[in-house]
Structure 1
Amino acid sequence: MAENKAAWKLAVKSGAQCSDEEDIMAILQEQNEAIAMKQRQAKQKEKARRSRPKNQTKKELITKFDVVRIWGSDRTCWEFVSSIGTSGGLLIMWDGAAFKLYNCYKGDRWLCIEGVVAKDNFHCAICLVYGPHERAEKVSMWEELSYIAGLCQVPFYFLGDFNEILHLEERKGVTTLPASAAEFRTWINDMELIDLALNDRAYTWFRGQSCSRIDRSLVSLGWLDVYSETCLRSGLRDLSDHCPLVIEDSRRVEGPRPFRSLDSWFTHEGFLRMVKEEWRELGDVQFLQKMKALSEPLRRWHKQHFGNMAERIKKLEEEIRKVDDMVSSGRYDGTTEARRRALVSCCEKWYLRQEMHWKQMSRSRHANEMDRNTRYFHNIASARRRNNRIESLVINGRLVRNQARIKIAIRDFYKCLYHQEASPRVTFRDGLVHRLEREEAETLEALPSVEEVKEAVWDYESSKAPGSDGYNMHFIKKVLG
């Protein structure tokens, strides 16, 4: 009130009349109440912000006590990047027995450790990222990460809050991508990184009605060469703005794999002879049942002659290296060169088989036009397998991760979907529907000739499979033609 009276005295000096006092005092009172309300709201927001859990560390110093309290073991190793007030801050922890640290690199917005995974003797680097908001700062951070990747020259794993999206569906309610999104995609492609799919949720960051997928995991091709089944899932968000990301190497056996004929089998000189012998032994069985029964001997033959292609190639390369070492040390006789030529010829044959195998498994539309790049096709096939895997499913309103329950739910769904219900018999009155003449009906019911069947089969694309039995048209043309 004292402030209001002081304001009134100034108004009187400026020419205000006494009759205006009540109106002016009421206006001043409303303004004061509005200011007080804003101040209270600001204090409440600040209190809520300070009490809200953070997914990034907000401490300038991380002690062993802090790490042991989080990890639960005193064998834990850690590195961190200090926060500046409430901005930034990164912490990475690992089991010292599982990962041996070689080097550690730090930036304002990233933290990288380089070392060896003890179990697999795998030399790699893992980098945590906390992306900035400004476009120029993002570009600068990506350049720093490119430099570190070039410095280490090992398979890389980038993960964290990149504060950037790649597709429109990764941010709720937007119709255009920011300019930095295209630059982010270019950086990912230049670094030859794979953005791991997150199949169990659309967004990883929430605030009010705003939702985005700004947290992601990017892995190099070298990483997937060793851990080809690396996949990503989300955890419970609880009170945080961000969802935790869980990275798994899911080498799980989830039942028998479906049969699939491989084009590389035909490079083996004894394959067609084996198929004909097995076909004769099956006897006079209905054609489709015979094809189904043939898949079992084909599985056994594949395991015996084409199993572990990478291991076979590795052994041949080792033998070639041993022959080269013999020549280098002066131990050379008349059979050495002949042995090397035979090893090289055999190795080239397995290179071709491996290339054909992964081209077929990748189902790349550009496979025929591309040069040999087995690693490229291998990673396309692995990515397809990861994306097609159903890690979780919402059943009756609940998120279920148990694979057995998911299989039962899927089976029951399609069983119900394709269930045939009894329907009333429908007839037509005479004259309502035009009847076919006998000759027309006989023409429609006539079986196709062998030539017509063969023509239809040969017109079909060889890489396609007409049914679910696993035989593609290349197999049918080669074996049954």
Structure 2
Amino acid sequence: MKPKIITWNVRGLNDRNKRLRIKSLLRMWKGDVVCFQETKMRFIDRKIVRSVWGCLYVGWTYLASLGASGGVLLMWDKRVVELIEECIGEFSVATRFKNVVDGWEWAFVGSYGPNVDRDRRRLWEELAGLYSLWDVPWCMGGDFNTIRFPSERLGHCQNSLAMEEFREFIFDLDLMDLPLVGGEYTWSNGRVWSRLDRFLVSPAWETQYPEVSQKRLARVSSDHFPILLDCGGIHRWHRYFKFENMWLIADGFVERVRAWWTTYKFMGTPSYILASKLKVLKQDLKKWNLEVFGHIDNQKFALLEELQELEDKELLGDNSEEMLLRKGMVIANLERVLLSEEISWRKKSRALWLKEGDRCT
């Protein structure tokens, strides 16, 4: 079992529409463990968790924000990992997991680093203490709010004490800072680019998953890029055919299926005829689903690809008014598509739930 872990400084989860956009992205990224930093929420319950991640089997724990500052939310799919133990610190949320499939035990800590040097030293002490708490392979992820080397910030940057202390922390714990795929930096305010977010893993983790890598994902609704830890060539099972509840909400769906069914002509035993008709119906449903519902995914992927291209241009120094205007339009269109997609899913699920509820009463 090779988990996929996502870390992202979301810069607040209070806005309902923002949570819906994030939920749509998580559905696309298919993570098994998700860690958000800077939630800016003092209290998080199941309702909030379900509004941001649609997984029915979600487990979660969180570090409350201090007023409207900070906060960490850690979520996991209970079908993939089992929680053994947890620890909430001043800057982090740590969990000890056991893989459901193979029973392998490991620990994860998601952290949000302070931007004051003396406070950041307390973060290193806290993470070092957690590291010694559980004698298992470790994975650390989050927004550490500092860089390791001057090269991790675009432009002129000198070595600093904060960088030296971060490097010393990584060296003392014998952690591995994996290369970042998909871009050099993880945060930007439009003028400054820095690599503030990352995963760090222990040698035992790398031994278990020798193909592990971290990848920068598309940036939407935050000035931080999400980071995906891919534990190496995840081989998902063949995508099997399944009936989608949302099809029942489409206009004329039942009539369409009835019309298809009457055109299927087969000879043989009743069971053979039924199986043959269902096989052909499956192919017709796949084609129809792509035509009716697939266009939203096409828009989403096209916008994400264009956004990545515009981010690369901006990084290379193209700050023309035309480019920035286009980037703003792409982000707005992408957020609209993500929100529309999630609202559509919610409406269809709600409508079907009410319909099925009526049948049960």
Decide whether aligned partners of structure 1 residues 188 and 55 sit closer, same or farther in structure 2, where only a CA change above 3 A counts: closer
Task: Name the counterpart of 2:46.
Answer: 64
For residue 132 of structure 1, what is the aligned residue in structure 2?
Answer: 114
Aligned partner of 1:216 among 177, 198, 218 = 198
Match of 1:189 in 2: 171
Kindly report which structure 2 residues correspond to 1:390-405, keeping only aligned pairs within 5 A, or say none. Answer: none
Partner secondary structure for residue 224 of structure 1 = helix
Corresponding residue for 1:93? 75
The answer for the alignment partner of 1:108 in structure 2 is: 90
| CA distance in 1: counterparts of 2:307 and 2:40, whole angstroms | 36
For 2:125 and 2:154, the matched residues in 1 are separated by 28
2:112 maps to 1:123: no
Counterpart of 2:189? 207
The alignment of Structure 1 onto Structure 2 pairs a total of residues equal to: 211
| Letter matched to residue 122 of structure 1 | W
Q: Is the 8 A contact 2:38 2:72 kept in 1?
A: yes
Task: Decide whether the 8 Å contact of 1:127 with 1:157 is kept in 2.
Answer: yes
Q: Which residue of 2 aligns with 1:198?
A: 180
CA distance 1:237–1:396, change in 2 (3 Å): closer
- 1:182-233 C-alpha deviation (Å, 9 max, x unpaired): 1110110110100011131111111130111000100000111111111111
How much has 1:252 moved relative to structure 2?
6.8
Match status 1:151 vs 2:168? no
Please tell me whether the aligned partners of residues 181 and 213 of structure 2 are also in contact (alpha carbons under 8 angstroms): no
User: Counterpart in 2 of 1:167?
Assistant: 149
Alpha-carbon displacement from aligned partner over 1:50-94 (angstroms, at most 9, x marks no partner): 979696311111111111122213321000000112211000111
- Quote the Cα distance in structure 1 between the aligned partners of 2:119 and 2:233: 38
- Report the CA distance between 1:158 and its aligned residue: 0.3
Name which one, 1 or 2, has greater alpha-carbon Rg: 1
Aligned mates of 1:190, 1:160 — CA distance in 2: 19
Q: Which of these residues, 219, 224, 229, is aligned with residue 211 of structure 2?
A: 229
More strand by share: 2
Equivalent-residue separation in structure 2 for 1:65 and 1:116 (angstroms): 26
- CA–CA distance in 1 between the matches of 2:176 and 2:221? 30
SS in 2 for 1:186: helix
CA distance in 2, matches of 1:397, 1:146: 38
Match of 1:80 among 62, 68, 71: 62
Partner residue of 1:242 out of 224, 239, 246: 224
Rate the CA distance shift 1:396–1:83 in 2: closer, same or farther, 3 A.
closer
Amino acid at match of 2:203: L
1:269-304 CA-partner distances (Å, limit 9, x unpaired): xxxxxxxxxxxxxxxxxxxxxxxxxxxxxxxxxxxx
- Residue type at the aligned position of 2:158: T
Distance 1:252 1:75 in 2: 21
Q: In structure 2, how many angstroms separate the alpha carbons of the residues matched to 1:109 and 1:71?
A: 23
1:239–1:396 Cα change, 3 Å: closer
Is 1:55–1:242's contact at 8 Å kept on the other side of the alignment?
Answer: no
Question: Is the Cα–Cα contact under 8 Å of residues 214 and 230 in structure 2 kept in the other structure?
Answer: yes
The structure with more helix, counted as a fraction of residues: 1
Q: Are the counterparts in 2 of residues 124 and 154 from structure 1 also a CA contact under 8 Å?
A: yes
Contact 1:101 1:113 in 2 (8 A): yes
Specify whether residues 203 and 251 from structure 1 end up closer, same or farther in structure 2 by C-alpha distance, changes over 3 A only. same
Kindly provide the amino acid, as one letter, of the partner of residue 216 in structure 2: S
Alignment of 1:363-382 (within 5 A): none
The DSSP-based 3-state class of the residue aligned with 1:203 is coil
Cα distance in 1 for partners of 2:61, 2:83 equals: 11
Asked whether the equivalents of residues 55 and 240 of structure 1 are also in contact (C-alpha less than 8 Å), the reply is: no
Q: Work out the CA distance in 1 between the residues paired with 2:228 and 2:89.
A: 24
Instruction: State the secondary structure of the residue aligned to 1:201.
Output: coil
Secondary structure of the corresponding residue to residue 146 of structure 1: helix
d(CA) in 2 for partners of 1:398, 1:77: 32
Kept in 2: contact 1:90–1:130 (CA 8 A):
yes
Letter in 2 for 1:197: P
Asked if 1:180 is matched to 2:162, the reply is yes
Contact preservation (8 Å) 2:218, 2:308: no
Unaligned runs of 5+ in 1: 1-49, 254-394, 400-481
1:418 equivalent in structure 2:
none
Q: Which residue of 1 aligns with 2:260?
A: none
Distance 2:65 2:184 in 1: 29
1:398 CA displacement: 7.2
Summarize the alignment of residues 245-256 of structure 1 with structure 2, pairs less than 5 Å apart: 245-251=227-233
